[in-house]
Amino acid sequence: MKLSNESILDPGFLKLVDFMGGDAAVVQAARVSVGKGLTTEERDRKLVHFLLENRHETPFEHAVFKFHIKCPIFVARQWFRHRMSSYNEISGRYTEMKEEFYLPRSLRAQKGKNYLYTEIEAELNNRLLRQIEDFYNQAFQLYRDLLQQGVAREHARIVLPLALYTEFYWTVNARSLMNFLGLRLDPHAQWEIRQYAEAAEQIFQDLMPWSHEIFIKMQRGRSA
């Protein structure tokens, strides 16, 4: 069982820090309404499926994941839109930012409509990536200069690009995690956040296999 992925958009990562509950917690929470608990594995598994299929989703709130994540700020901005969870993020006021920027291997070109992309020709791609890297270096040099000249960290950071890495803790229950995964595993979601969603899905599958199997079945039904 792999409870962390330490090579997402290198040097990014997603690590499970803590976990409470599981499929059994979902079953227990659902059966409390009839004064019962766990029964046989097969019946409990069927109940988990029944609950999700029929949108009785509150029992899934009793399984909780705490993740430590490192990702570019533009990914974190998309992530933080998922309000039904808790966040604490490294502070650019209390710490100096590290010189770590996300540089894609290849840039995507817009192909007409939103969500349609194509590859950029190799030579142009390499030239543009070099320009981007130069810009990162200049921006970080300016950040350092501002700090050296006595500018407060909270102001110096305003020159840093969205590609800079940030870190945060994310505590999310299984109900909200499934909402996140449904939206961020979708091909319409940006490739970069999808890499993190895939890592989180793997952990969800390992720790809550019954919930995961019905979640995936329903996702496939939606996209069919």
Ligand X SMILES: Cc1cc2nc3c(=O)[nH]c(=O)nc-3n(C[C@H](O)[C@H](O)[C@H](O)COP(=O)(O)OP(=O)(O)OC[C@H]3O[C@@H](n4cnc5c(N)ncnc54)[C@H](O)[C@@H]3O)c2cc1C
Residues 184-203 that bind ligand X (CB under 6 A): 184, 188-189
Tokens of residue 69, six digits: 């994540």
Residue corresponding to tokens 């079945």 = 217
Cα–Cα distances (Å) from 23 to 64, 160, 169, in that order, read 11, 43, 23
Nearest residue to ligand X on Cβ basis? 83
3-state DSSP of 130-171 = HHHHHHHHHHHHHHHHHHHCCCCHHHHHHHCCCCEEEEEEEE
Stretch that binds ligand X, among 41-49, 124-132, 177-185, 199-207 (CB under 6 A): 177-185
Coil, strand or helix at 100: coil
CA 119 to chain centre: 25
Stretch that binds ligand X, among 37-45, 49-57, 94-102, 181-189 (CB under 6 A): 181-189
Question: Does residue 183 bind ligand X (CB under 6 A)?
Answer: yes
Q: 66 or 82, CB closer to ligand X?
A: 82
List the one residue from 20, 32, 84, 158 that touches ligand X (CB under 6 A): 84
Any bridge partners for residue 71, and if so which? 166
* Least Cβ distance, residue 211 to ligand X (angstroms): 17
* Catalytic residue from among 157, 184, 220, 222: 184
List the one residue from 34, 40, 81, 148 that touches ligand X (CB under 6 A): 81
Question: Does residue 179 bind ligand X (CB under 6 A)?
Answer: yes
Size of the site for ligand X (CB under 6 A): 10
Question: Does residue 159 bind ligand X (CB under 6 A)?
Answer: no
Stretch that binds ligand X, among 23-31, 49-57, 154-162, 180-188 (CB under 6 A): 180-188
Q: Is 43 a catalytic residue?
A: no
Long-range Cβ pairs for the range 79-82 (8 Å, 24+) = 79/170, 79/193, 79/196, 82/172, 82/176, 82/179, 82/180, 82/183
Ramachandran sector of residue 115 (left: φ over 0; alpha: ψ -120 to 50; beta: rest): left
Do you find a cis peptide bond into 11, omega within 30 degrees of 0?
Answer: yes
* Least Cβ distance, residue 24 to ligand X (angstroms): 24
**Spatial distance between the Cα atoms of 50 and 204, rounded to a whole number of angstroms:** 19
* Least Cβ distance, residue 193 to ligand X (angstroms): 8
Give the residues lining the site for ligand X (CB under 6 A). Answer: 81-84, 176, 179, 183-184, 188-189
User: What is the set of active-site residues?
Assistant: 184
